[in-house]
Structure 1
Amino acid sequence: MKVCLIHSPGAGQGDTSKEQLIALLGKHGYQARYLTTDDDWKTRFEDGTEMVVVAGGDGTVKRVALELAGRNLPMAVLPLGTANNIAGALGSVGELEPLVASFGSCRRVRIVPGAAHGPWGKKHFIEGVGFGLFARTMREADEASSSDDERARGRAAKLRQDLERLLAHTRTHPASHAEIWLDNKRVEGDFLLVAVLSIPSVGPRLELAPGKDAADDVFHVALVPTWHREELESHLEDRTDQRNSRLETIVRTARSVKARWFGPDVHIDDDVWPKDREDMQDIEPPIEVDIEATENGIIALAPGARRRAFEKDKSA
């Protein structure tokens, strides 16, 4: 089978090479055309390509997935990033060898991207749209990631650092008021975070919507009100210390979501809005966002059962 391999060489520790990936795919009968995320890969899918294999983290997977939306070209994921939330939603976790070996027989699912309409215009997403705590933490993580010390960290150390950063913010982050319409049913309150999710987990593998199936076009909306602060803190402490813990959140479902957020922090997948911290002072609340599913789906290989998939992942 002829495949297009799109590789993010710097994902994780950058310890999986071009040669290793091509050899692994070749061992299982896949003839790979290699491209990196630095190449102009969007215009270089050749006629005859039967599958796209993405080797990287969530950011790379998202970019490729959105480019494949509406095409009859399946995508397989080899998880090389830190959190690998999209790969986890597909059950594509663990060692690379058995994952590639499963490509020929595993089920295929249709992922439906979402679209978020707001002050930024229209943006598509694979993971979700979030308000509050996560967006603040993502902003600081992005600012820290440019340092040499940060880049030198391995995946496990980076994941732990992200959890520690989120825990520190959870202890002090002020709640914001929100008005949310879930298929026209109104919810209102003060929340640490609100997350409209297309997959079960976001951020540092925080499973806010454990019942979410990536192939389901219904959003799961996780709500963390102020009175859940201590429970979230306890869960993050357990995760930081590598203790098994399950976070109980308020989860509602909806096919369309409208939100009025009276705080400054929003993210669409791993993109924080506003991008520049100094622009935050110009935001006049509420931030109004309309979220809906799109029509063009993405065909993705789902090698394993998603449920508790991360428990099997020994790569980080």
Structure 2
Amino acid sequence: MNILLLHNPTAGDDRPSERELVELLRDARHDVSRVATDDPQLAHRMVEKVDLLLIAGGDGTVATVLEKVEGGSAPIGILPLGTANNLARTFGIEGDIEELIEGLADGELAPVDFGIADGPWGRTRFFESAGFGALAEGLGPVNAARVPSAEKIPSGRRALRETFGRMEPALLQVTIDGERQDERLLMLELARVDTLGPRLCLAPGATPGDGTIHVVTLAPEAREDMLRWLEDPDGQAEAPVRVRRARQVEVAWVDTASHLDDNFFERPEQPCRMKASIELAAVRILRPARRTGGSKR
């Protein structure tokens, strides 16, 4: 295949370098060109005629690239080099990088929807979640601190336990497929994938190709249940949240922190509104074939 490698050189610790990735791809008999994800020419390079746009990085890198994808682009591949890798994991892309590269040639394509958010920031896409309350309040400082990759998940989980323990609920006006409700909530997340933030499974079964927004809420009366769940979020118990599915969601808020994927916004002093919807089958994701016999190298 003719592949354009879009590489974030800062993603993950002790991961393959751009040079090593190019070598692995060429060893797998692919033609490779490359561009850094912080290159000013990134969007221009992404419209080149190639067989695959291959993103090497974590959730933030994947979202940055997908935001720039034009309709009718080449399929998208992912080499997960981040910490949580929520997006890649939801697509079923995880495991050894070399084995993922070996599986590209025999991979299968799957349609993926985009979340669309119209709000104070304008019109933009989101890929993991758009949210209000605890996740935005707790994870914003962790994201800004740029902690080492190995510490991101435990640091994020500690920050959320502290945030859920102290924060007051927000009064949010939530309209789900035309039905309006005023809700007092500790958390509202409009999820596109099943695991959010520091690898927390808050929307079981959510996939980017299911055509819906998973509306995840936590009411004040579930605060203690959430704090207990966060002691072992990787265990068998499901998160004590309510999940509803929708095609369109509108949210009105004030004085509440919010986020779009890894972009965090402070509490606004004036009332704000956002409308979230779905752009169906916006791109195609390539899922590498799984190798059963281990690495060929």
| TM-score over 0.5 for the pair | yes
Aligned to 1:18: 18
Question: 2:46 & 2:130 partners in 1: Cα distance?
Answer: 29
Counterpart residue type for residue 252 of structure 1: R
Deviation at 1:93, TM superposition (A): 1.1
Which stretch has the larger CA shift, 135-144 or 47-56? 135-144
Question: 2:51 & 2:213 partners in 1: Cα distance?
Answer: 30
Aligned to 2:2: 2
Question: 2:194 & 2:71 partners in 1: Cα distance?
Answer: 23
Partner-residue secondary structure (3-state), 1:61: helix
Aligned to 2:294: none
Counterpart residue type for residue 134 of structure 1: L
Question: 1:163 & 1:244 partners in 2: Cα distance?
Answer: 17
Question: 2:69 & 2:220 partners in 1: Cα distance?
Answer: 39
Deviation at 1:246, TM superposition (A): 3.0
Question: 2:48 & 2:70 partners in 1: Cα distance?
Answer: 17
Counterpart residue type for residue 300 of structure 1: I
Aligned to 1:63: 64
Distance 1:288 1:188, change over 3 A: same
Aligned counterparts, 1:229-240, within 5 A: 229-239=223-233
Equivalent residues of 2:133, 2:256 under 8 A apart:
yes
2:241 equivalent to 1:249? yes
Aligned to 1:309: none
The structure whose residues are more often helix, as a share, is 1
2:155 equivalent to 1:170? no
Aligned to 1:117: 118
Counterpart residue type for residue 179 of structure 2: K
Aligned counterparts, 1:1-316, within 5 A: 1-13=1-13, 15-39=15-39, 40-45=41-46, 47-145=48-146, 150=147, 153=148, 155-239=149-233, 243=235, 245-274=237-266, 280=267, 283-285=269-271, 287-294=272-279, 297-303=282-288
Q: Which runs of 5+ in 1 are unaligned?
A: 275-279, 306-316
Counterpart residue type for residue 283 of structure 1: E
Which whole-Å deviations, capped at 9, do the CAs of 1:237-288 have from their partners, x for residues lacking one?
Answer: 114xx655432421101101011224421111111124xxxxx4x6123x32
Question: 1:47 & 1:15 partners in 2: Cα distance?
Answer: 27
Question: 1:171 & 1:8 partners in 2: Cα distance?
Answer: 35
Deviation at 1:236, TM superposition (A): 1.6
Partner-residue secondary structure (3-state), 1:4: strand
Counterpart residue type for residue 52 of structure 2: M
Which whole-Å deviations, capped at 9, do the CAs of 1:128-180 have from their partners, x for residues lacking one?
Answer: 210101111232113322xxxx3xx3x33221111111111111121111221
Which whole-Å deviations, capped at 9, do the CAs of 1:169-198 have from their partners, x for residues lacking one?
Answer: 111121111221111123332111101111
Partner-residue secondary structure (3-state), 1:237: coil
Deviation at 1:46, TM superposition (A): 6.6
Partner-residue secondary structure (3-state), 1:294: strand
Partner-residue secondary structure (3-state), 2:230: helix
Equivalent residues of 2:194, 2:207 under 8 A apart:
yes
Counterpart residue type for residue 284 of structure 1: Q
- Normalising by structure 2, what TM-score? 0.90
Counterpart residue type for residue 44 of structure 1: R
Deviation at 1:289, TM superposition (A): 1.2
Deviation at 1:234, TM superposition (A): 1.6
Question: 2:289 & 2:216 partners in 1: Cα distance?
Answer: 24
Question: 1:269 & 1:42 partners in 2: Cα distance?
Answer: 20
Counterpart residue type for residue 142 of structure 2: A
Partner-residue secondary structure (3-state), 1:297: strand
Partner-residue secondary structure (3-state), 1:29: coil
- Normalising by structure 1, what TM-score? 0.85
Partner-residue secondary structure (3-state), 2:232: helix
Q: Which runs of 5+ in 2 are unaligned?
A: 291-297
